[in-house]
Chain A
Amino acid sequence: MTRSRVLEAFTAALLDDDADALYDRAPCGYLTMAPDGTVVKTNHTLRTMLGADELTGRTWQELLSPAGRVLHETLLMPTLRLSGAVTEVAVDLECRGGTRLPVLLNATAERDPQGRVRLVRVAVFDATERRRYEQDLVRSAEEARAAQQAAEDAERRLSALVDTLQGSLVPRSLPTVPGLSLAGAYRPAGDGSEVGGDFYDVFATDCDEWWVVLGDVSGKGVDAAVLTALVRNGARALATSLTEPEREPALILRRLDELVERHETERFCTVSLLRLRRTATGSWAVTMASGGHPPLLLRTGPGPAKGVQAQNPPVGMGLYSGPDSAGEPVQGRFDLHAGDLAMLYTDGMSEVRVPGGLLGDEGLSVALDAIASESSSADEVAGRLLDHVLALQDGTPRDDIACLVLIAD
């Protein structure tokens, strides 16, 4: 723009936009009021905003929404009287016809020589869009909070469900068996938020006959838990209902294999079954069979416990019958005399990383010996062994852990 055209534009603006026009047509509303709120003067812009022909003589409070009136009394006027100015107060004005206009206010107070507020000047800015945006923000924040709350609730429910399911996999407390001290240890993998596949059970089929079942279903979660329940309850039902000579661990393994095969699942299960019968001398005659499960550790005196194998295929793979059958399932037998210790466990207890490889059944056997020689009860052995295995994994097990310790009295 040339110098002369700048001058021309300046002159035109000066003439057209004098102080009166600037006040009346300013791009914000102006209002002057007495300290009690009586409206003294307004500009055209404000009257247009409010759809009012005349505001003089009315009170400022009448123009405010009820919430705005409270804000005026508790914040706006006190601040004006004490500090002379307020900025960016968000209120709603009530327009003709009852609609609301969200606005932002700046206000200053004019004082008399004694320091009393003489009049208040208010600049009013339409804040409709801004307020909508703020409300959207508030709503979004509330929705986010609600979503988070819902997620937390769902997690709590899930965790309760997992607890319930988990509780069905191992007895809440072990039965008291005369002549035998029993202790169990159980810990799901990780933070315990998923149902594990390990389980155990101890039950009587006669006053001198007890069964111990401990196993590990492949995989995790609700599916695995269903199969776990099937095997646990199946073993119980079979051991209770079968009669001699069918009532033997090896034969029950074969029945369990059929049961799991009929249940259409890719999953399988390793399991150890013990049948304990009290003899006339007070010792226990034990028959056992393992379906693909780690050996039983038997400690009959000082020194590492020895593994008792009576190894058959895992159940649920159809390997007990048909063309792939390995033949008649095998079972072992041993006696438990006073002080003898037998332990069943899942691989979560033995397949634990240690310097130079895995702890393994042998490593666990050595640890069991050290702990058993210093312990006075089955509870103590099970507890300390669990601690030992957890300590090797910084307290967070990679896999489910289950073990049962039996000591003959």
Chain B
Amino acid sequence: MLVHGFGCDQGMWHHVVPDLVRDFHVVTLDLAGAGESDPAMWDAERYERLEGYAEDLVALLRELGLREPVLVGHSVSAMIVAHVQVMAPELVGSLVMVGPSPRYVDDGEYVGGFSAEQIEELLASLSANYVAWSHAMAPVIAGNPGRPEVHGELAEAFCRMDPGVAEVFARTTFLSDARDVLPRVTAPTLVLQCAEDVIAPQVVGEYVARELPDAELVLLKAAGHCPQLSDPDETVSVLREHLLTAGPR
């Protein structure tokens, strides 16, 4: 089960799904508020906490009845799947965390990579961009693109998110602190750390692997925060190797 992070939707996995489905049963989904999720299920208070998203995934796992599924969480969803495993260990086989960070803001000895001021600036910047984009997207959503240079791209709808929803998700993502969850994860976990990831630096990936009771840290050559986009081949091959050797159990 591939779970996208902040900013986008399940389209994030477009480049890896075709390869993965050859060997695995793959589930992708849009988190509440993202992509094609039902706007009616959005609840600003519920999704102020990572647990809100995690409860949705627990319900989904119960519904699907998968046998020892591997939950792959990208970015903030690495912490969401950690919550899922702690909430309902019986529903989870193992975890893969792609570019995880339990806390973005530095805190004493802990290095998250951002100061509190930087995160506030980021949140302001994100909300400014989402507001602008929601206006730009309006004609597309209304079914009248009128923008020939991007016309016809299915992905035009990609990353579109209601500004209010984006603001809540951004705050939840960048202000939450899931450090106390890591030691309580009982499932084996693969931590994928990208090179030169400005969002989740290597020191954070190492922290995550250290705090998890049963973790393996793999350093990817892929640069940036989204290896499934910047180097889908490497991402698929690392995932495949891990999944085929580790499971099914």
Contact = CB atoms under 8 A, between A and B. Distances in A.
Interface in B122-136: 122, 124-126, 128-129, 132-133, 136
- In the A-B complex, list the 7 residue pairs whose CB atoms are closest, starting with the nearest: A74-B7, A83-B155, A67-B122, A73-B225, A82-B155, A67-B125, A66-B118
Contacts of B225: 73-74
A219 B229 CA distance: 75
B199 A83 contact: no
Contact of A82 (B5, B14, B199): B14
A259 B199 CA distance: 77
Contacts of B126: 67, 70-71
Contacts of B124: 67
A83 B156 contact: yes
Interface string A58-77: 00010001111111111101
Contacts of B136: 87-88
Interface string A76-92: 01110111110111111
Which of A61, A68, A83, A92 is packed against the most chain B CB atoms within 10 Å? A83
- What class of interface size applies to chain B in its complex with A? 35 or more
Given A36-B230, A37-B223, A70-B122, 4 more contacts: A70-B126, A74-B75, A74-B199, A138-B128
A74 B174 CA distance: 12
B129 A89 contact: yes
A35 B197 CA distance: 14
13 contacts: A36-B223, A70-B122, A70-B126, A72-B198, A73-B197, A73-B199, A74-B5, A74-B6, A75-B129, A77-B230, A78-B158, A134-B128, A138-B128
A77 B6 CA distance: 13
A102 to B, nearest CB: 10
Interface in A77-121: 77-79, 81-85, 87-92
Contacts of A89: 129
Contacts of B5: 74
Interface in A10-50: 35-37
- What class of interface size applies to chain A in its complex with B? 20 to 34
Contacts of B7: 74-75, 78
B150 A84 contact: yes
Given A71-B129, A73-B226, A74-B199, A79 B159 contact: yes
A137 to B, nearest CB: 10
B125 A90 contact: yes
Contacts of A36: 196, 223-224, 230
Given A75-B7, A83-B153, A69 B129 contact: no
Contacts of A78: 7-8, 12, 158-159, 226, 229
A69 B225 CA distance: 10
Which of A35, A70, A87, A92 is packed against the most chain B CB atoms within 10 Å? A70
B121 interface: yes
Nearest to B166: A75
A147 B206 CA distance: 47
Nearest to A85: B150
Contacts of A138: 128
B235 to A, nearest CB: 13
A37 B230 CA distance: 11
A87 B150 CA distance: 10
B149 interface: yes
Interface string B143-178: 000000110010110110000000000000000000
B213 to A, nearest CB: 29
B11 interface: yes
Nearest to A80: B229
B18 to A, nearest CB: 12
